[in-house]
Structures are given as structure tokens and as C-alpha cells.
Amino acid sequence: MRGDLVDRIMAIMEASFDPAYGEAWNRRQVEDALLLGNCHAYVVNPSGLPAKDDEPAAGFSLSRSGFEEEELLLFAVTPEYRGRGIGRSILDALYRAAESRGAKRLLLEMRRGNPAERLYRAFGFSTIGERKAYYRTPHGTRIDAITFAYQFEQDS
């Protein structure tokens, strides 16, 4: 297990996810995912490029590949680096990596109302379903999950 990688992911996640929604994973969940051969972590520096060990980390994605599809499990950019295209560059890199792993579409699930929807739609994702009351906030409120997909065939 690459503890330094987990440390970097946890630091970005803790700075990025609003605790009001309970979306962040704990360390154990991240470690367990990374033990699986089909989960892929990608950490970028403030320029949106793959972060070297001695560079600060500004954002990351964690995805899981399945048969002809790749699911974005976690995705965040720390607040100080937002709004300059880093999120978009992570999605671009995910697309390329997923394609090289044989994916034909990307999937993700988002709580209803997350402003990230604008970025997903601009990228080319569209809604394919919803799970009513799927997320439960620490205060017990239920929020729907919206499932988005991006079909690679759109490119050709």
C-alpha cells in the first residue's frame, strides 16, 4: 500500500468535501479501494498535470474499471485551486486512461444540486438515472443521487 498516496488523497478530500453532505470516504475505504486491481488513483499538481512526489497536490480522482465502463468514485480539487480548469483536466485524463483500459463509457453519481453538474454537462455527461434519497447527510436528511454517463461513441 502506498501510504503517501493515501495521505495525499485524504488531505485533498478533507479540504474539498463539505461535511454537511457526508460524501467523503474515510481512510480505510480509500485503502481498501486501492488494494483492488481495478481501482485507479490519479493525483494532479496545481498545473493540472500528474503530481510528482515533491510537488503539491491540488486534486485527484479515484475510479473503478469494469467491463467496458469506468466509474468515477471520487473527484475533488482543493478550494484554493478551483475554477482554473484543473477539474476539467482530471476528467480529460480519466477519459484517456479509461479508454486505454477498454472503457466505452464513463459513469458517475452525484448528489442532486452539486454545482459540479455544470462541469459534467460541459464535458459531455448526461443524466441516465436517479436514486431517490440515496445519500444520507450527517443530519439525517436524504438527498437524491443522479447518475451521469459519458458515451465514448459520441466522439466518432
Ligand X SMILES: CC(C)(COP(=O)(O)OP(=O)(O)OC[C@H]1O[C@@H](n2cnc3c(N)ncnc32)[C@H](O)[C@@H]1OP(=O)(O)O)[C@@H](O)C(=O)NCCC(=O)NCCS
Contact footprint for ligand X (CB under 6 A) = 16-17, 75-77, 82-88, 110, 114-116, 118-119, 122
> Which residues, in sequence order, are bridge partners of residue 131?
145
Q: In which residue are the cell numbers 494532479 written?
A: 44
At 84, the amino acid letter reads R
Min dist CB 12 to ligand X, Å, is 8
Min dist CB 107 to ligand X, Å, is 12
* Contact of 89 with 48, CB cutoff 8 Å: yes
Sign of CA dihedral 27, 33, 36, 38: negative
> Which residues, in sequence order, are bridge partners of residue 64?
39, 71
Min dist CB 62 to ligand X, Å, is 11
Min dist CB 93 to ligand X, Å, is 12
Phi-psi region for residue 124, left (φ > 0), alpha (ψ -120 to 50) or beta? left
**Cβ nearer to ligand X, comparing 139 with 153:** 139
**Cβ nearer to ligand X, comparing 41 with 76:** 76
**Cβ nearer to ligand X, comparing 37 with 115:** 115
C-alpha cell at 49: 498535470
**Cβ nearer to ligand X, comparing 5 with 90:** 90
